[in-house]
Amino acid sequence: MFYVDTQCIDCDVCRDTAPNNFTRNDEGGYSYVYKQPENDEEMEQCLEAMDACPVEAIGNDGAE
């Protein structure tokens, strides 16, 4: 399962890369996973977002 930790700086990278899976908490000013990937394309996008995150705030614990 993908997650976003407290290091998030709300840079938009994950939301731009995987818009079907990441969204923004407007009040808190951070992104979070609102839906785990459901197909190969979404999984690829989430992995790309995890690699692109400038503060390494996105993780994947491997659980489904």
The parent domain of residue 53 ranges over 2-60
pLDDT at 38: 98
What pLDDT is attached to residue 64? Answer: 62
Measured from the Cβ of residue 24, the count of other Cβ atoms closer than 10 Å reads 16
pLDDT bin (cut points 50, 70, 90) of residue 5 is very high
- Cβ atoms of 31 and 23 within 8 Å: the answer is yes
- Residue 62 has what pLDDT? 81
| pTM for the predicted model, two decimal places | 0.92
Contacts of 62 (CB under 8 A, 6+ apart): 1
33 has which bridge partners? 22
CATH number at residue 50: 3.30.70.20
The rounded mean pLDDT for the chain is: 96
Determine the pLDDT at residue 12: 96
Q: What separation, in Å, do the N-terminal and C-terminal C-alpha atoms of the chain show?
A: 6
What's the number of domains the chain is made of?
A: 1
* Tens digit of each residue's pLDDT (9 = 90 or more) over 32-53: 999 999 999 999 999 999 999 9
